[in-house]
Amino acid sequence: MVKITKNKDLEPVTLLCGGPEACTAREFLSKISDKWSILIVVILSKQKDHSARFGELQKMINGISQRMLTTTLRNLERDGLVTREVFPEVPPRVEYQLTNLGLGLIAPMKNLMDWIGMNWNTIKKSREGFDSKRK
């Protein structure tokens, strides 16, 4: 439970955690901003039927380890953002598909990414300036 207080107000106001807003948001944000989650969601959203199989995803995402792809997909499945369907074939085939929930995430996420895209140069400039001042 994180409490915040107004400027000169001694009464602590539980705004951000407990009143379930920013704290859950932070929890979820930290989940999807891990190394691969958004990337997978975005990639799936661009696939036919918003679905792809394990091996395809691994080929599409250059650099992800098998373990991380597995665990990331598990987390997305756990959160209800993707579904996992196993086809009882030989060799086995597993399809991952974005749910409606997962699709709904695309829009607000895109807003944020657009903002980042628009301001990325500003941020980079700021970093350069900051770093150069620091010897």
Partner DNA sequence: CCGGATCCTGGTCGATACTG
Partner DNA sequence: CAGTATCGACCAGGATCCGG
Q: Which residues bind DNA (CB under 7 A)?
A: 34-35, 53-56, 58, 63-68, 70-71, 73-74, 84, 86, 91-94
Rounded Cα distance, 47 and 132, in Å: 43
Strand ranges (E), 2-103: 4-5, 12-13, 51-53, 82-87, 93-98
Backbone dihedral angles phi then psi of residue 34, each to the nearest 5 degrees: -70, -175
Residue 66 site contact among a copy of itself, DNA, none (CB < 5 to 8 Å, cut-off depends on kind): DNA
Q: Report residue 102 CA to chain centroid gap.
A: 10
Shortest CB 5 distance to a copy of itself, Å: 5
Shortest CB 72 distance to DNA, Å: 7
Q: By CB under 8 A, what part of segment 4-33 binds a copy of itself?
A: 4-7, 15-16, 20-22, 24-26, 28-30, 32-33
